[in-house]
A = this chain, B = another copy of it.
Amino acid sequence: MTPQTDEGALVDDIAARIRARIMDGELPIGKPLRQAALAAEFGVSRTPVREALRQLQNGGLIEMQPHRGAVVRVPAPWEVRQAYEVRAELEALAARRAAARITDSQLAELRRHNDVLRAAAGAGAAGTPDTTQANDCFHTVVCQAADNPWLSRMIDRINESFPRNVSSLALAGDERHRQLNVRQHDAVVAALTDRDEDRAQEAMREHVISAGEHLTAWYERRSQTVFHG
């Protein structure tokens, strides 16, 4: 009954589950996290929960104040801009490397993911799990093609610091930006298809910066989806 994924990973499993809840928005940013409640919910003792929270704190997803508990971190708008500037640089590097390495099947995969987004953008159906996943997969495939685990890991670390649902919500309400998003993806795919390193790098950088600005603006406008206790 104990083994979830592979034995000996109970703590990491707990951490992953809590992270998933936060990323999906089930635990809104600003919400306090009670160790006892989480422990009861997962049917384990408080010890692994505490360690898991510590890991999430280390990752920057939550904040822990001594003797005062943990809350899902609320990023400041300027932090979003800063983080996306870094992410842009990293993903741009990934795109550059990918241009020299990507396979035809990976290119096809990219087009498929972007077609999902294109269809959703036309139908006004953004913010669904499908589109969120398609977006994630697009970037993941580029990272894989870049063939540098360290690079992928760094990018993951940044993404894991901002609840995914918030990014989706930011896109959900803006039809123009969604279409821009798809066009920018097209530009990246085109550059990758041509195996043009410089263009791929620049297209990806522009795309991520643009997404970052959009998300920053959203954060500035709206402190919604924040828990008010």
Contacts and interface: CB of A to CB of B under 8 A. Distances in A.
B90 A86 contact: yes
Contacts of A83: 150
Name the prevailing secondary structure of the A interface residues. Answer: helix
A150 B172 CA distance: 26
A11 B85 contact: no
A11 B54 contact: yes
A157 interface: yes
A93 B82 CA distance: 12
A85 B148 contact: yes
Contacts of A58: 55, 58-59
Interface in A29-75: 47, 50-51, 54-55, 58-59, 65-67
A8 B150 contact: no
A95 to B, nearest CB: 12
Interface string A114-149: 000000000000000000000000000000000011
